[in-house]
Structure 1
């Protein structure tokens, strides 16, 4: 059996990334792939990029990485109110100011999507990796999204699994024998407890997925955000968790 780990949406949260990589190493998994969004909302964008470079982890271009790497204009999101839009602009501009030129160049060179093909005793298994969806780097694909629509986005019907990020909410489901996975967010989970989340794929006669959720030192994270130029809004996100409201 082949095992690979897939991480996504780290958002400059080095503490969560270190916890996830430690867990992956303890499991003896050597192949790790990242679906992007390395930057914004925590103070360690450069350190996160450097760690992925040091570990030689293949990484896709997330929409946040694209904005920072290519110095794109910040476009307001329809689901954000005026206050969150203001805070978001401050946080992203912090990344634009602090991410090094070398790291910005590296971000622009990341692949947009990636097809992995694994030889097994049961034939070739194809895994399609995207940041958000096969047709857009900004599209939110939640569990309720039409499986039929997702199948139409695939490059061909030989895909055995589609793995996505972007929403920060993990799930596993099947449609017409194709495994559909959102691996969640390492550094800014929108699920209860805000745990660092990633997925493991087990590849043999079929492809199976496991979602892993880990506790980490959120107090140190929020303290670091408060002590940085990033708005306290992004520390409060972790303090006021959904299940405690």
Structure 2
């Protein structure tokens, strides 16, 4: 079974449509979304509608929770807070209610799922070996899938050996083997690993195979939509830079 793992769409419908087309071309049978469907981009309702239609499993992220008023934006940068306030005003009631019914963590086909980290699923970033080591103690499954950092990466642990953390590029493939893993697909809508292409992860949880994918999309169209909506220009400026 092939699963497409998506995260951090952030209201970028241009990127989401490109990823969904690639997912379909590769014959994935299920889509799992790790949260932050809305946030920085100009089409929160379109992204919610698309994910509601195709995702078998969906988590809620911190930006989703702030946009529906379930969390404060006090930990956000000024531009992120402005985008959250704009999104809150744009969200249709049906999408607001749907986001409010989602959890920030869960499980599917023997994989642990969390938006942030397995021990702190809303806010914690898994970007260092020390955080990965601590997070590996917070779930029992062999694999945990996380988002939130906007960086495609893998964290591998074999026995008592130190965690191996690696940033992942387009086409990187792995066999799960006997090690335990924390895996991040990267961001669909706002990558921060110097590659502006939309990111996702192709996973076969039964055969133990996975591959990171990157998809080109209309970055300028997404940036123009942000500017046309009156959102902070920095959110548009960063898209072509992948940061």
Classify the TM-score, shorter chain: 0.7 to 0.9
* Larger-gyration structure (1/2): 1
Separation of aligned partners in 2, 1:211 and 1:179: 14
Separation of aligned partners in 1, 2:189 and 2:242: 14
- Partner residue in 1 for 2:138: 153
Deviation at 1:74, TM superposition (A): 1.2
Structure 1 residues 71 and 110, CA gap change in structure 2 (3 angstroms) = closer
Deviation at 1:36, TM superposition (A): 0.5
CA contact (8 A) 1:129 1:162 kept: yes
Moved more, 160-169 or 208-217: 208-217
TM-score by length of 1: 0.85
The aligned runs of 1:168-207 (5 Å cut-off) are 168-176=150-158, 177-205=179-207, 207=208
For residue 193 of structure 1, give the secondary structure of its aligned residue in structure 2. Answer: coil
Deviation at 1:184, TM superposition (A): 0.6
Separation of aligned partners in 1, 2:126 and 2:101: 25
**Aligned residue pairs: how many?**
222
For residue 222 of structure 1, give the secondary structure of its aligned residue in structure 2. Answer: helix
TM-score by length of 2: 0.85
- Partner residue in 1 for 2:167: none
Unaligned runs of 5+ in 1: 78-84, 118-125
Structure 1 residues 203 and 241, CA gap change in structure 2 (3 angstroms) = closer
Aligned counterpart for 1:113 among listed residues 88, 105, 110: 105
1:127 equivalent to 2:103? Answer no
Structure 1 residues 67 and 140, CA gap change in structure 2 (3 angstroms) = same
Following superposition, which runs of at least 4 residues in structure 1 exceed 6 angstroms of deviation?
Answer: none
C-alpha distance after superposition, 1:216-243 (max 9, x if no partner) = 110111111111121111111124456x
Structure 1 residues 162 and 240, CA gap change in structure 2 (3 angstroms) = closer
CA RMSD in angstroms comes to 1.7
1:140 equivalent to 2:125? Answer yes
